[in-house]
Structure 1
Amino acid sequence: MGQMKRLLPHQTDQRFLVFAATGTDLIFNRGVELPGFASFPLVEDATVQPIIVDQMRDLTKVAADFELGCIIDTPTWMANRDRAAPLGYDSNQLAVLNRTAVDLMCGLRTEAARDDVLVALCIGPARDAYAKTKPMTVADARAYHAVQIGSVADAGVDLVNAYTFNHVEEAAGAVLAARDCGVPIAVSFVVETDGCLDNGTGLKDAIDQVDALTEQAAAYFMVNCAHPDHFSHVLTGHARLRGIVVNASRCSHAELDEATELDDGDPVELGAEVARLLHAHPALSIAGGCCGSDFRHMREIASRIRA
C-alpha cells in the first residue's frame, strides 16, 4: 500500500505550527553540541537520537494541546554536498543519513496518529545563506537539490521545507528538483531587516519570480529567520505566502553572527505579533519559531493563533 496523502497547509483551513529553531534549542536548552552547527551528524549518534525525536515530539504535543496541525522537520538542513563535505561526509553517507532522519520523523508522525501531522524534508541552500556568494543558475540548482530530495522521495515525506533561500535562481531550481522527484515543496525566503532579500529583491517580487520560472510548481512560500519587525511592513496579502517562521531576536543576521549569548526576546510579545499578522493576512496559516525561540515562544504563538 502507498503512503496516505495528507492535506498540505495550502489545501485546508487548518492552521499549522512549525519549529525551525532546532539548532539553538538543542544547544542552549537540551545540552547538545552541534558540529559546525549541523544537526544531521547527530542522527547516527544513538545517545542523541532520542533527544532529536523528543524535540519534535514536543512540537506535536503543543500542536495537539491547541488543536493545531504541525509540520515536523527532519534534522537535515545542512545535509547537502557543499555544507557536509567540511564535516567529512560523502554523498553515500549523506543519502543514508537523510533517509534515517526521515524514518525517525515518520515514526513520530505514526506515533502522533493524526492526519494533520506532516513530515517535511528540511533542506537549505547549497552555501551559507548569509555569505556573499555568487548565485547558482536555475539549472545547476535543479540538479544539485535533486540529489538530496531524490534520496528520500520514496521514504514517506509529505513535502520539502526549503529554508533560508535568498536567491531566486536557487529557489527556482530547488522547486523544479522537487517537482522532478514528485514531492511538494514550500520555499521559505530569508529577508534582511528591511524586509528584502540580501540582494534587494522584495519578498513579493521573489515569490512572483520563482513562480514565473517554475510555472507555479511550489506548493506555497514562507519567510523565516527574521523578526516580525523586519518584514511585517512588506506583507501584501500575497496568496502564495502561507507561513511566517520568526526569530525571537530583533537583531540583524550580522549582529546574530557576532553575538556571544542567545537573544531569546520576549515570548509573549512575539506570540502576540505573530497572531496579529495571521489575523491581518488570512492567507497565512503556518506559524512558528526560528533562531532564538524555544517552546515558550511556541506555546505563546499556538495559544494566540488558535483563536
Structure 2
Amino acid sequence: MRALYRNGLPQVEGAELLTDAGLETTLIFLEGHDLPCFASYPLLGTSEGRQVLKSYFQRHLAIAADHGTGFLLEAPTWRASRDWGAQLGHSPDDLARFNKSAIDLLVEVRREASSVSPIVISGNIGPRGDGYQPDMTMSAEEAQAFHAEQIGWFVDTEADMVSAFTISTVNEGVGIVRAAAEAGMLVVLSYTTETDGRLPDGTPLGEAFERTDELTDGGAAYFMINCAHPDHFRAALESDAAWLQRVLGVRANASRQSHAELDEAEELDAGNPAELGRDYAQLKRMLPNLRVYGGCCGTDHRHIEAMADCCCRIRAA
C-alpha cells in the first residue's frame, strides 16, 4: 500500500499539525482501562478496544477541525516491540499483526475525518527499555538491529512515517534513524529530558540532536522533544544554535514532576491546561520551526485545545 506523504511530509513543508495527548495516561487514569506495561496496543485485539481508540482519536481530530489545522495520527504501538510484547505474551507474529492493525485503524479514522486536512499517519515506536532511564546499554548497531523489526512491520502499510518517542540515549536514537533509512521510511526522533534539560544519561539536549545528525548524515526528517514539562527543557533552548531549526514538534507532560516522581505516582497530575497552552506559545517563539503540537503524560484533549488556542492559526473558510 502506498502512503500519502511518504515522499514529503506536510509539516516539514510548513503545515501546522495538532496531534493527540497522553494516550496511555488518559486511558488508565481517566477512562479506567488496565494497561499492563503501559501498553495500549492490546486494545486493538477486540472490537470494543478498537472503538475506545477510535473515539480517543476522533475527540482530538475535532479540535483540529475547529482550529483549521492538520493532524498527525500516531499509532498506539509505543510498546508493540519484541521485548515489551514478550512480557505481555505476544510473539513477533502477534506483534506484526498488532502493528499493522494499528495503521489500518488510523487509515479508517483518516478516511472518516473529512473536515481535517492534511492528516498524516505515523507508526509509533518507543524505547527498547524504560524511557525514563537509560537502562538498555546498546550500541547504535544493536539499536538498529532491534528497532528494524518493528519499523519493518510498518513498511507495507499506509503509514506515512515512523516516529520514535521517549528515547533516552543517542546510541538508540542513531540506531532508529539508521534502521528507518534502510527501510525507506521517513523518521522523526524525539528525545526526553530530565528536569535539568539533559537526557536521562546526562547528555545535553542540543548535543544529543547534533550528534544524532552527525552520525546519521541528518537522516531524521526532524526532531521532537517529549515526556518532559516545558520548564524542564526551556533553558536548553535559550540560544541561537542551528539545531533549534531541526525541532519541529513538542509533546510535553502536563506535570512538572520528575520522571522518578511520575513513576511512583498513583494519581494523575493533569497540571493546568491553559498554562501549558501559554507555555507552548512561548516555545513557539523560541523554536522557529515549531509546528507539531501534542501532549504526553497527564495531558488530555483539554491541553491540546489550549495549545491550539495559543499556537494555531484559524484558516479562512
Quote the offset at 1:200 in angstroms. 1.4
Q: Determine helix, strand or coil for the equivalent of 1:276.
A: helix
Q: Give CA deviations for 1:273-304 in whole Å, capped at 9, x if unaligned.
A: 11121133221111111100111111111111
2:102 alignment counterpart: 101
| Displacement of 1:105 | 0.6
Aligned residues: 307
Q: 1:204/1:9 Cα in 2 relative to 1: closer, same or farther (>3 Å)? A: farther
Q: What secondary structure is seen at the aligned counterpart in 2 of 1:151?
A: helix
* 2:169 counterpart of 1:167: yes
| Alpha-carbon offset, residue 27 of structure 1 | 1.6
2:291 corresponds to 1:289:
no
Offset at 1:115?
4.1
Corresponding position of 1:195: 197
Report the secondary structure of 1:47's partner residue. Answer: helix
Q: Please, what is the CA RMSD of the aligned residues?
A: 1.5
Question: How far apart are residue 176 of structure 1 and its match?
Answer: 0.8
Is the Cα contact below 8 Å between 1:98 and 1:151 reproduced in 2?
yes
Deviation at 1:77, TM superposition (A): 0.3
Cα distance change of structure 1 residues 75 and 2 upon mapping to structure 2, 3 Å threshold: closer
- Worse-superposed segment, 25-34 or 200-209: 25-34
SS in 2 for 1:48: helix
Distance in 1 (alpha carbons) for counterparts of 2:46 and 2:34: 12
Hey, what's the Cα distance between the residues in 2 that align with 1:156 and 1:217? 21
Q: Which residue identity is paired with 2:52?
A: I
Structure 1 residue 134: deviation in Å? 4.0
Q: Per-residue CA shift, 1:6-65, capped at 9, x if unaligned?
A: 742553222111224000111222232212221011110221210101111112111111
User: Structure 1 regions of 5+ residues with no counterpart?
Assistant: none
Identity among equivalent positions (%) equals: 41
Tell me, yes or no, if the aligned pair for 1:191 and 1:225 is still in contact at 8 Å: yes
Amino acid at match of 1:206: A
- Aligned match of 1:253: 259
The question of 1:204 aligning with 2:206 is answered yes
**1:275 lines up with 2:277 in the alignment:** no
1:147 is paired with a residue of what secondary structure?
A: helix
Gaps of 5+ in 2: none
- TM-fit CA distance, 1:243: 1.0
- Please report how far the alpha carbon of residue 180 of structure 1 lies from its aligned counterpart in structure 2 after TM superposition: 1.1
Change (3 A) 1:146 1:187: same
Partner of 1:13: 14
- In structure 2, C-alpha distance between the alignment counterparts of 1:45 and 1:60, rounded to whole Å: 23
Matches within 5 A, 1:1-150: 2-5=2-5, 7-113=8-114, 114-150=116-152
TM value normalised by structure 2: 0.93
Return the alpha-carbon distance in structure 2 between the equivalents of residues 131 and 191 of structure 1: 10
Partner SS, residue 61 of structure 1:
helix
Q: Secondary structure at the match of 1:300?
A: helix
Looking at structure 2, the residues matched to 296 and 49 of structure 1 have their Cα atoms a distance apart, in angstroms, of: 22
TM-score by length of 1: 0.96
Q: Match of 1:303, as an amino acid?
A: D
Give the AA of the match of 2:41. F
Correspondence for 2:250: 244
Equivalent residue letter for 1:4: L
- SS of equivalent residue, structure 2 residue 206: helix
CA distance in 2, matches of 1:132, 1:202: 14
Runs of 4 or more off by more than 4 Å in structure 1? none
Per-residue CA deviations over 1:58-81 (Å, capped at 9, x if unaligned) read: 121111110111111111000111
The answer as to 2:226 corresponding to 1:224 is: yes
